[in-house]
Amino acid sequence: MSTALADAPMVDLGVLPCRLDAGVAHRAAVGLLVLATDQTMEHEFRALVKQDGVCLYQSRLWNDADITPASLRAMRDRIAPATELILPGLKLDVVAFGCTSAS
């Protein structure tokens, strides 16, 4: 610590008045789980949910480059952990799994 900072008097700011609004996701917090190799899902999905008070939060799910029924089944155990990374400890109103290969 510099001497000037150590010698500076403490400033008591007291209680500063503040007010919080409902937040950026006051209508809905939407989670989106996207395959790691996907290049367009977030862009396209964001256009679908573009409304005031609706926020999109996403996470990526590792996947093989070749999508097959077997590789889709292999993703099953990674879906929940990847979803938990979207907003850890905070509420999501809905979560979408963006995987057109599985539809």
- pTM: predicted TM-score of the whole model, two decimal places: 0.74
What is the structure's pLDDT at 16? 83
What is the structure's pLDDT at 102? 60
- The residues, any chain, with a CB within 8 Å of residue 20's CB and separated by 6 or more, are none
What is the structure's pLDDT at 2? 65
What is the structure's pLDDT at 92? 96
The mean pLDDT values, 10 residues at a time, for the chain of 103 residues are: 74 84 93 94 92 95 92 93 94 91 60
